Amino acid sequence: MKIPKFHLDSLWQNNTFFKVISVLIACIIWVVVAMNMKTDIPREIQEVPVTMDSQTSFITRMGLTIIGEEDLFVDVTIEGQRLVVGSIKPEDIAVSVDLSLVNGAGSFSLPLVAENVSGKDFTISSISPSTVNLKFDRMVTKKFNVDLKMEGLVVPEEGYLMEEAVVSPTQVSVTGPDTDIAQIAQCVVSIDHEGSLTKTTEFTSDIILLDKDGNEIDSSGLTMDVKQAEVTVPILKTVDLPVKVEFLNAPDGLNLEELKYTISNETITVAGPVDEIDNYSEILLGYIDFKSLDLESNFTFDVELPDNFTNVAHTETVTVTFDWTDMVAKEFTVTNLSLLNVPTDYDARLLTNRITRVRIIGPAQVLETMTSDDLVAQIDLSKRSVETGQFKTAVTISAPAKNLVWAVGDYTAVVVISEKE
């Protein structure tokens, strides 16, 4: 196959060729002219960031900080040769705030300053906006008590009692501009509940800052060490509990039901946690020792309740009064002494053969016919540690054959204990 020959003469006769060559030459001429033009052209560089360092210079030394500092951007107009200004980016320009006008806390309109940091040949002609409004203040921290506001919290009309609510924490630390902190008059946590409460209930709620007029303060520019508080509302169940006393050292065979006495308050209205109070059927006032139960004796007890219980009736004391009608006292000498529960491998003997001036309380008609032979004195060695030697030990005196008779006071006898040979 024969390849056709290319002839240069044919290009000069081609119109398309001449059009392409013309365009290329025009572009080259435009570039050369543009590069050699001395006239500057303007260009606006948008979204140039404004830098602010509130932790430097005299601002920090005055104890001030910028309040509500946000990222700021401005538009900067520059001038220079076309190729130069066309290559400029926002990071080639540094815009800062002139803080020299700040002389204390307050709001200031401060000028902006722009600088060419690129090393390229262009000038800055304007900044838009040319100023920025900034607020300066001193940052302070202050503690406030957390107050409680409750609405709608009720208990059933009967059988329940609402105690004072407990707030935790009781204080909150608020940090912010001095002028904003000065507006805070109260820190409150509000509880709003519909319906009756029949048990202790816990709530969680936001802590709200209020001004002197009770209006809520915008806390977006403030920092609180805690933002919520726990509120515990104690609900107690109320019941009427009977009171009683118990007796110590009652003689064997003595019928306590024949002992006549009255209690000033037979029942006391108390309130306690719902899950605890049902475990109580009575209130024990205390103990009365027969050794101290003498004629004309009466006893007053403080009312002591379990933890978390409340004395609704405010009955602080209860008095136990005895009926001493037809009861008398008489002194006897006891000669009938005996030892009980002598330890194995030990011998014990009494050195005391009588106890004198034993005060006996009992019905008059009983004591009229009672003699020393009706009284016995017993020494129970099981109530003391086993030791050899001579000891003075407690004696229990009773009249086994006589009812409602007892000895008042403490009596002792001397005992010798030795090991068996």
Q: What percentage of the chain reaches a pLDDT higher than 70?
A: 91
User: 90 pLDDT exceeds 90?
Assistant: yes
Residue 131 and residue 144 share a domain: no
Residue 199 and residue 151 share a domain: yes
Which of 192, 216, 233 finishes a domain?
233
User: 60 pLDDT exceeds 50?
Assistant: yes
Residue 122 and residue 153 share a domain: no
Q: What percentage of the chain reaches a pLDDT higher than 90?
A: 64
Mean pLDDT, residues 397-415: 94
pLDDT of residue 237: 94
Band of residue 55 on the pLDDT scale cut at 50, 70, 90: very low
Kindly report, residue by residue over 196-209, the tens digit of the pLDDT.
888 889 999 999 99
The residue ranking higher by pLDDT, 421 or 369, is 369
pLDDT of residue 6: 47
Lowest average pLDDT, out of 25-39, 42-56, 115-129, 305-319, goes to: 25-39
- What is the rounded radius of gyration, in angstroms, for the C-alpha atoms of the chain? 51
Neighbours of 12 (CB within 10 A): 9
Within-domain flag for 33: no
Residue 349 and residue 397 share a domain: yes
- Pairwise CA distance, residues 66 & 254, whole Å: 89
Lowest average pLDDT, out of 5-9, 52-56, 273-277, goes to: 5-9
Residue 246 and residue 167 share a domain: no
- Record the pTM: 0.60
Residue 261 and residue 223 share a domain: no
Kindly report, residue by residue over 121-154, the tens digit of the pLDDT.
999 999 999 999 988 888 899 999 999 998 888 8
- Pairwise CA distance, residues 396 & 377, whole Å: 6
Tokens linked to 218: 């915008």
Range of the domain at 350: 327-419
Tokens linked to 185: 């008059």
Per-residue H/E/C for the chain: CCCCCCCCHHHHCCHHHHHHHHHHHHHHHHHHHHHHCCCCEEEEEEEEEEECCCCCHHHHHCCCEEECCCCEEEEEEEEECHHHHCCCCHHHEEEEECCCCCCCCEEEEEEEEEEECCCCCCEEEEEECCEEEEEEECEEEEEEEEEEEEECCECCCCCEEECCCEEECCEEEEEEEHHHHCCCCEEEEEEECCCECCCCEEEEEEEEEECCCCCECCCCCCEECCCEEEEEECEEEEEEEEEEEEEECCCCCCCHHHCCEEECCCEEEEEEEHHHHCCCCCEEEEEEEHHHCCCCCEEEEECCCCCCCEECCCCCEEEEEECCCCEEEEEEEECCEEEECCCCCEEEEECCCCEEEEEEEEEHHHHHHCCHHHCEEEEEHHHCCCCCEEEEEEEEEECCCCCCCEEECCEEEEEEEEECC
Within-domain flag for 34: no
Residue 226 and residue 249 share a domain: no
Residue 179 and residue 116 share a domain: no
- Pairwise CA distance, residues 207 & 217, whole Å: 11
Band of residue 387 on the pLDDT scale cut at 50, 70, 90: confident
Within-domain flag for 22: no
Within-domain flag for 5: no
Residue 79 and residue 125 share a domain: yes
Residue 358 and residue 409 share a domain: yes
- Pairwise CA distance, residues 413 & 350, whole Å: 7
Residue 198 and residue 145 share a domain: yes
User: 62 pLDDT exceeds 90?
Assistant: no
330: left (phi over 0), alpha (psi -120 to 50) or beta: beta
Which of 322, 341, 356 finishes a domain?
322
Total tally of structural domains belonging to the chain: 4
Which of 103, 137, 171 finishes a domain?
137
Within-domain flag for 28: no
Neighbours of 68 (CB within 10 A): 10
CATH number at residue 193: 2.170.120.40
Cβ burial of 336 (10 Å; 0-12, 13-18, 19+) is middle
Lowest average pLDDT, out of 87-101, 148-162, 246-260, goes to: 148-162
Per-residue H/E/C for 258-317: HCCEEECCCEEEEEEEHHHHCCCCCEEEEEEEHHHCCCCCEEEEECCCCCCCEECCCCCE
Kindly report, residue by residue over 341-381, the tens digit of the pLDDT.
999 889 999 999 999 999 999 999 999 999 999 999 999 99
Residue 146 and residue 65 share a domain: no
pLDDT of residue 146: 96
Kindly report, residue by residue over 266-282, the tens digit of the pLDDT.
999 999 998 899 999 99
Question: How far out from the chain centre does Cα 369 lie?
Answer: 70
Within-domain flag for 19: no
pLDDT of residue 61: 78
Band of residue 181 on the pLDDT scale cut at 50, 70, 90: very high
Within-domain flag for 278: yes
Within-domain flag for 12: no
CATH number at residue 346: 2.170.120.30
